[in-house]
Structure 1
Amino acid sequence: MPQHHPTMPVCRDCDGFATAAVTTGGRNRDGSRTTLRVSCPACHGTGHTHPARVLASAGR
């Protein structure tokens, strides 16, 4: 099957996995683990970045 090309580039810091669940080591009353959702600071949890703007060089 063909792979679809994303319309926006994937974040280079998180490789598209923008949110992770981190365990704190504690447990809830029902016995499940206490987790925190942490988002990528570079893409703010979207998994995509905006294309870099091209710098124009002026001078000689």
Structure 2
Amino acid sequence: MPQHSHAPTRICPDCSGHATAHIATGVRLRDGSRATVPVSCSACHGAGTLVRLLATAAKAV
């Protein structure tokens, strides 16, 4: 039985697919937890993947 071939991945090379990170500000909230700020990847705008055209162009370079 033939195996299915998966489409090539289009993971963002800048963030390696981890598009959003939460950075602690150092401020503590009333409940004792830390305040965080979400920061998105500037290349993929928080998607974790690139448009196929950009992904194929990156491989050619």
Residue segments in structure 2 that go unaligned for 5+ positions in a row: none
TM-score by length of 2: 0.71
TM-score by length of 1: 0.72
Runs of at least 4 residues off by over 2 Å: 4-8, 51-54
Shift of 1:24: 0.3
Structure 1: distance between partners of 2:34 and 2:41: 22
Residue segments in structure 1 that go unaligned for 5+ positions in a row: 55-60
When you count helix as a share of all residues, which structure comes out higher?
2
Identity between Structure 1 and Structure 2 (%):
49
The number of equivalent residue pairs is 51
Q: Is the 1:8–1:50 contact (alpha carbons within 8 Å) kept by the matching residues of 2? A: no
Higher alpha-carbon Rg: 1
Shift of 1:6: 5.5
Q: Which amino acid is the alignment partner of residue 29 of structure 1?
A: R
